């Protein structure tokens, strides 16, 4: 098709949209909503993925998590064997550290019972929402994000002697000591007095949840003075070398099977997994959200496509005499087909561009006004344009074929 004719078709398409603003807007609305949903939801999901992966990378790649259940297991919806699995104990974690030759450190922690509210107080300043964690001395070796910025971390002696010392997360330190730092100060956790021996480096927040609003005390001290639930005991091990990762996992499994008296040939009544399993679970969750997004946007695109087909059929009818004149002066059926098909694609392309713009603004608003990260990716923009053009092509072909097959004499006689 010659450049001049193509330019003329685009001009006619633009004039058609401009002369029927309300009709064109209503026609484009479905396309715009569908593309907007794709861009906005993809931006949020990609932002969540980047934030989550960045957080996992920050804690180190060679970690082995030991738990009662595999990631994502909902206990109530599984077998009796899973529901009745025994809790891990502090001694189980110590056995892993002492009996597994390829394990260099084992981080152990447990929270104060979820239903207990334990205030943290310094003089007249109090925090009611801080998390109280019982921890052992290996946390900085296993997860490097727990390095102290000032002072020191909990020591093996603190754990052994059930010392009343603590380390503070950066946010809790700022809450209790807004004009200084708490190093060396005595605070109260519940009714007990603790000396602050370290302030940890700031980790920031993930999904809007602060990771620095906690007090870490020796796990043995927590188990002596505060209520706790062993089902919340967390054990994370670190192998001595990445090359020995699989062997370290096997050693942990063997130690736990023996301690938990799992018969030969029976499956494990516990789970040992790495970061890959956590990433797979997260990808499944975001994949489900992506599927919902596809369904929602598909409904909008279907409605928009039907609207485009309807408006193009009306346009063909309104321009019947024009089609007759164009055929009478030499236009071929293929030229008429291309004209109306390009008009449909132009119409949906305009809706797609508007949807991309609105979706980008929504993603920007989400990132600015909420704790959810959002990142617009180049492939989602290309996808938005491709989808909008495809809708125009699919739903515009029927009106375009109808126009192309018109009898020029009948068209000229049309009133």
Q: Nearest CA to 62 among 188, 243, 193?
A: 243
Q: Nearest CA to 405 among 321, 311, 323?
A: 323
Please provide the DSSP assignment of 27-94 as one string. HHHHHHHHHHHHHHHHHHHHHHHHHHHHHHHHT-S--EEEESS-TT--GGGS-HHHHTPPPP-HHHHH
Residue 88 pairs with which residues in a beta bridge?
Answer: none
Domain residue limits, the chain? 9-55+280-413, 64-274
User: What local confidence, expressed as pLDDT, does residue 9 receive?
Assistant: 65
Instruction: List the pLDDT tens digit at each of the 415 positions of the chain.
Output: 456 666 766 676 667 667 767 777 777 777 888 788 878 877 877 777 777 777 666 666 688 888 888 776 554 445 566 677 888 888 999 999 999 999 999 999 998 876 678 899 998 899 988 899 999 999 988 887 788 899 999 999 999 999 999 999 999 999 999 888 889 999 999 899 999 999 998 887 776 677 889 999 999 999 999 988 888 888 999 998 888 888 998 999 999 999 988 888 888 888 888 877 777 777 777 777 777 777 777 777 777 788 778 777 777 777 777 777 777 777 777 777 777 787 788 878 888 888 888 888 888 887 777 766 777 777 777 877 787 888 878 887 887 788 777 776 665 665 5
Pairing of strands 209-210, 148-151: unpaired
User: What local confidence, expressed as pLDDT, does residue 383 receive?
Assistant: 77
pTM, full prediction: 0.68
Which residue has 């000032």 as its token pair?
150
d(CA 24, CA 33): 14
Structure tokens at 12: 């006619």
User: What local confidence, expressed as pLDDT, does residue 215 receive?
Assistant: 93
Question: Long-range contact list for 156-161, CB < 8 A, 24+ apart?
Answer: 158/218, 158/221, 159/218, 159/219, 159/220, 160/220
Q: Are 216 and 107 in contact (CB under 8 A)?
A: no
Q: Nearest CA to 41 among 385, 294, 350, 348?
A: 294
User: What local confidence, expressed as pLDDT, does residue 413 receive?
Assistant: 63
């Amino acid at each position: 098709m010659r450049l001049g004719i193509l330019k003329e078709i685009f001009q006619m398409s633009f004039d058609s949209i401009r002369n029927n603003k309300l009709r064109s807007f209503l026609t484009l609305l479905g396309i715009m909503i569908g593309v907007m949903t794709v861009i906005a939801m993809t931006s949020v999901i990609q932002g969540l993925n980047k934030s989550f992966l960045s957080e996992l990378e920050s804690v180190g790649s060679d970690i082995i998590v030991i738990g009662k259940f595999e990631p994502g297991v909902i206990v109530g919806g599984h077998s009796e064997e899973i529901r009745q699995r025994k809790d891990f104990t502090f001694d189980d974690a110590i056995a892993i550290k002492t009996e597994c030759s390829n394990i260099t450190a084992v981080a152990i922690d447990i929270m104060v019972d979820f239903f207990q509210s334990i205030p943290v107080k310094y003089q007249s300043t109090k925090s009611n929402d801080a998390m109280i964690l019982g921890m052992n001395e290996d946390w900085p070796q296993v997860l490097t994000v727990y390095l102290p910025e000032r002072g020191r971390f909990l020591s093996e002696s603190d754990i052994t002697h059930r010392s009343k010392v603590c380390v503070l997360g950066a946010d809790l330190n700022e809450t209790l000591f807004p004009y200084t730092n708490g190093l060396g100060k005595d605070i109260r956790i519940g009714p007990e007095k603790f000396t602050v021996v370290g302030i940890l480096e700031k980790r920031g927040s993930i999904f809007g949840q602060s990771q620095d609003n906690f007090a870490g005390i020796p796990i043995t001290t927590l188990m002596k003075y505060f209520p706790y639930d062993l089902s919340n005991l967390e054990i994370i091990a670190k192998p001595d070398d990445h090359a020995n990762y699989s062997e370290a996992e096997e050693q942990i499994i063997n130690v736990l099977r023996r301690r938990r008296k799992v018969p030969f040939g029976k499956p494990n009544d516990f789970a040992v997994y790495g970061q890959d399993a956590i990433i797979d679970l997260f990808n499944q969750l975001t994949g489900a959200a992506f599927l919902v997004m596809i369904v929602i946007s598909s409904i909008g695109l279907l409605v928009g496509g039907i609207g485009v087909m309807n408006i193009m059929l009306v346009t063909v009818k309104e321009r019947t005499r024009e089609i007759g004149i164009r055929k009478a002066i030499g236009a071929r059926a293929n030229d008429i087909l291309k004209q109306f098909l390009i008009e449909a694609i132009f119409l949906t392309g305009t809706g797609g561009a508007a949807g991309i713009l609105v979706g980008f603004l929504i993603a920007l608003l989400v990132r600015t006004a909420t704790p959810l990260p959002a990142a617009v990716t180049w492939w989602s923009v290309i996808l938005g344009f491709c989808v909008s053009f495809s809708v125009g092509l699919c739903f515009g072909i029927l009106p375009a074929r109808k126009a192309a097959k018109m009898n020029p004499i009948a068209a000229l006689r049309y009133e």
